Amino acid sequence: LQADANAQTAFQLLQQISKMYAGDFFEFDPYFEDADLQRTHFSNLYRKTLVTAAGIYARERDFQKMVEVTERALQLDPLDESIWRLHFQALDNSGNRNAALKKYAGLQKLLKKELDSEPDEETRNFIARLRAK
């Protein structure tokens, strides 16, 4: 019971942190070099918070909230395939498999354009399992 209470408290803190994040540190001055480390640090913390929240929403089977937090995480790092896989999982589990497959096509285009590469093997295998359902 105590573990459940601690997990609930931690989750509430994650939600509060997520609401407090207002964007990049000193985003109004992207050339302020002294802020680069902190900007990256806070952005990474926020991304990790969103990914952790996605995992919690998955365990609670609240897939719509999982979709929302993975979308926010992808805004921070649209090339992170581990977040994309969470997003595809959330879409599929919320009954939107076709949306997941369409977004996968978009990811393929994005990776080709930005990195001249294809999705990694783990992502391709994940999508193959989705298609096989």
Q: Give me the pLDDT at residue 70, please.
A: 97
pLDDT value, residue 120: 98
Task: Say yes or no to pLDDT of 27 above 80.
Answer: no
pTM for this prediction: 0.76
Mean pLDDT for the chain overall? 83
Judged by average pLDDT, the poorest of 3-12, 50-59, 81-90 is 3-12
pLDDT at site 3: 42
Q: So what's the pLDDT on residue 36?
A: 66
Question: At residue 53, does pLDDT exceed 60?
Answer: yes
User: What is the pLDDT at residue 25?
Assistant: 46
CA separation (Å) from 125 to 12, 85, 110, 131, 133? 34, 10, 18, 10, 13
CA 78 – CA 115 distance, rounded (Å): 12
Q: How many CB atoms lie under 10 A from the CB of residue 51? A: 17
Domains of the chain, start order = 2-132 (1.25.40.10)
pLDDT tens-place string over residues 68-107: 999 999 998 999 999 999 999 999 999 999 999 999 999 9
The yes-or-no verdict on residue 5 having pLDDT over 80 is no
